[in-house]
Structure 1
């Protein structure tokens, strides 16, 4: 699938085709150069995505990629965690899929992004949730900006293996801007190998719950694939796309 030296790829351990409610989509990543704060997002999508798009395609943008292009990546040595961040991070569970807010630097970033009051309220909710055996109350209160904070991991591409990356600014506006340039639906997604969320969509009526199920396998990958953008392509044998939009 080569187009002007760029191509669609199916990442390791991912399925090329995913079927949800009778609708089948091809799920592809696009290998790109390393995205930095010097990356012009408009030129980037025109270079890598535009030559590959077909009518009906949906463009996927990694929220981390968008944040990096916005210059929001923060080197670890530039973050100076306070006492509150050091205290709160002790109560966050670290998983094999990422650090989350379990280190002082990522917790400090969450405090900076969300505000002290909201994080304290979320911490209280999380503590209450533990008493009742419920998970996820912290992030429900803290919001997507806390959940989207990405910490450094050994499987992350340098230099971001030594950075904390918060949520992108104005994701909805960014999705609509890219959609206007390329003429396709655009989703900014925050996915990993245990789940994810659609941070923003260029089209308000798009059925997010449906597409979250399509994206369950995380087609952009979780390691060093270097596919920060991708395409969902409706298959011809599934012409009825009525479920793609909310009724």
Structure 2
């Protein structure tokens, strides 16, 4: 079956003079209790070839690790309610801009680090600099996803944390599929590699290859994909 890009996305991209395909892999809705090994075996193992890179979104890894929480299960503390008021909301997601996601940032990263990140950010914003909050708070805070209307149910009403052991997950999946693997946090304004079997140069190249978010942000139901040189 020929590879198809998601709507509004390009199947191919050229990076440093090399052409790559970004092949989305469609799956059913992944739920807590599902096993990553089973999902990879069912939807990815037969599609990869030698030299490919399989990339998996951090969200489905975290969901299968039991790191997703429905909004009505979360009781934010007063500090979370206060801090969330000062988070800049963006078009691609609410980030820590609601009490429920900020509550998990405090739990995951620690109150002292979040307060320090908020204090530094408040000062540097006065001078027109942005992004210091997440630079200080780190990947665990950056990887927290809040509910958005376009997300596939039931996760349109859930907070999903970043995955645990992303490097270990990538290594385990590589044993299943035989090619390099990356666990990625990609959105419509960029992204990060949370764990992989690639070296640092390979990770930087992968971020560039995925910079336009070929898996999309909404109902595409393509939580993983294949990078393949043309």
TM-score in terms of structure 1 length:
0.90
Q: Which residue of 1 aligns with 2:65?
A: 70
Shift in Å at residue 39 of structure 1? 1.0
User: What is the alpha-carbon distance in structure 2 between the residues aligned to residue 178 and residue 46 of structure 1?
Assistant: 9
Once the two structures are superposed, what CA deviation does each residue of 1:163-185 show, in whole Å capped at 9, x if it has no partner?
Answer: 00010011111011101221110
User: What is the alpha-carbon distance in structure 2 between the residues aligned to residue 174 and residue 204 of structure 1?
Assistant: 16
Shift in Å at residue 204 of structure 1? 3.4
Q: Which residue of 2 aligns with 1:186?
A: 181
CA contact (8 A) 2:117 2:132 kept: yes
CA contact (8 A) 1:171 1:200 kept: yes
CA contact (8 A) 2:45 2:176 kept: no
Q: Which residue of 2 aligns with 1:96?
A: 91
Stretches of structure 1 that go unaligned for 5 or more consecutive residues are 3-7, 236-247
The answer as to 2:135 corresponding to 1:166 is no
User: What is the alpha-carbon distance in structure 2 between the residues aligned to residue 154 and residue 36 of structure 1?
Assistant: 18
The answer as to 2:2 corresponding to 1:18 is no
Q: Which residue of 1 aligns with 2:29?
A: 34
Q: Which residue of 2 aligns with 1:230?
A: 225
User: What is the alpha-carbon distance in structure 2 between the residues aligned to residue 127 and residue 47 of structure 1?
Assistant: 47
Match of 2:196 among 201, 204, 213: 201
Stretches of structure 2 that go unaligned for 5 or more consecutive residues are none
For the residue of structure 2 that corresponds to 1:121, the secondary structure is: helix
Shift in Å at residue 205 of structure 1? 4.5
For the residue of structure 1 that corresponds to 2:85, the secondary structure is: helix
Match of 2:56 among 45, 53, 61: 61
Q: Which residue of 2 aligns with 1:153?
A: 148
For the residue of structure 1 that corresponds to 2:33, the secondary structure is: coil
CA contact (8 A) 2:167 2:195 kept: yes
The answer as to 2:207 corresponding to 1:212 is yes
CA contact (8 A) 1:9 1:30 kept: no
Shift in Å at residue 10 of structure 1? 1.0
The answer as to 2:83 corresponding to 1:82 is no
Q: How many residues align?
A: 230
Once the two structures are superposed, what CA deviation does each residue of 1:6-31 show, in whole Å capped at 9, x if it has no partner?
Answer: xx431011111100101110011111
CA contact (8 A) 1:175 1:201 kept: yes
Once the two structures are superposed, what CA deviation does each residue of 1:33-82 show, in whole Å capped at 9, x if it has no partner?
Answer: 11111211011101110111111111010001110111100110111011
